[in-house]
A and B are shown apart, each in its own frame.
Chain A
Amino acid sequence: MGTLFEPFTDVVPSFFGWLNQGPLTLTIFLHTIIILPMFWIYFSEKKRLNK
């Protein structure tokens, strides 16, 4: 198996266990969920300032 996605082998299944199976999955998820809305915040502020 590759190292990015590995089979789920946790004793107690959990969303975070599933998310953290590979070294990059959690990082990518957190960046997606935190950084993407910041783009939206940036552009909406820009629009507001332009008015």
Chain B
Amino acid sequence: MANKNVSVWTSIPFWRRSAAWVTGFATILLIWLSFDTLGQITMGTDADLLNKVTKRVPAATVINYKIGYEMSKERGHEVPTIGEKQPFFGKEWSDKDAAALLHLGKLTSQAKNCMDCHTLLGNGAYYAPDLTKAWLDPAWQDGGPLQGMTGKSTVEEAIAEFLQNPSQYPTHARMMPNLGITADEAKGLVAFLKHMSSIDTNGFPRNFSKSVETFKAGGTHAR
């Protein structure tokens, strides 16, 4: 009977078994990946920051530190670095206060629908600049055109001032409308932005501007 001309391709049990195998395996793989991701996205603790333990998502108290963005040769893209202590709105925030401020910022970003125009960590729109690394934007640093425009002397005060009166400041070809953001909400949003910039996003967004010169030349991120 070995030479009987049979086609496996028209056999229903063959397709059924193949489909069951592929679907079953993919299901197990996706469940495994979901649990694997938890370790990657779990927020670090204040102790991690003190002990210099690198986490992809640092603790809320990272707002008390200077955030840098340095090229990593072995990874082939920029990586956020957590430097020395840096006062945030003129003080050091406790674990509890920093978490509360960050939470307020997150809720405000949702309430004001930032993602309608901006992109946060890859989610949102590209009508307005990508905010993932906005805190590190050279234009907001000392001597940068955006900080100078607000007349403030720190990044956080400059961004907070802008957020409360966005329609007064020409920051972008498509100017930001006034969203009625209060002083406290603006503080929260700045904390949210600073924390977000400290998240290791594997170099995303790719075209993040590296100097005031590139920014002035129109080379900002999110075009």
List the interface of chain A (C-beta within 8 A of B).
7, 9, 11-12, 14-17, 33-34, 37-38, 41-42, 45-46, 48-51
CB distance B6 to A50 under 8 Å? Answer: yes
Are A34 and B56 neighbours in the complex by a CB distance under 8 Å?
A: no
Q: How far is the CA of A33 from the CA of B168 in the complex (A)?
A: 59
Question: Is B25 within 8 A of A41, CB to CB?
Answer: no
| Interface members, chain B 34-66 (any A CB < 8 Å) | 36, 39-40, 54-56
Residues from chain A with a CB closer than 8 A to the CB of B18 are: 38, 41
B96 within 8 Å of A by Cβ? no
Q: Which residues of B line the A interface, CB within 8 A? A: 1-2, 4, 6, 8, 11, 13-14, 17-18, 21-22, 25, 33, 36, 39-40, 54-56, 72, 74-75, 200
Asked if residues A14 and B36 are in contact (CB atoms below 8 Å), the reply is: yes
Docked complex Cα distance between A7 and B4 (Å): 53
A interface majority secondary structure: helix
- A49/B6 in contact, CB under 8 A: yes
Task: Find out whether the CB atom of B56 lies under 8 angstroms from the CB atom of A41.
Answer: no
A-B contact pairs, 6 of them (CB 8 A): A11-B200, A34-B21, A38-B18, A38-B21, A42-B14, A45-B17
| A15 neighbours in B (Cβ, 8 Å) | 36
Tell me the nearest residue of chain B to A11, going by C-beta: B56
State whether B55 touches A34 (Cβ < 8 A).
no
With A12-B40, A49-B11 as contacts: A34 and B22 at CB distance below 8 Å = yes
Give the residues in chain A near B40, CB-CB below 8 Å: 11-12, 14, 17
Contact indicator B14/A45 (Cβ below 8 Å): yes
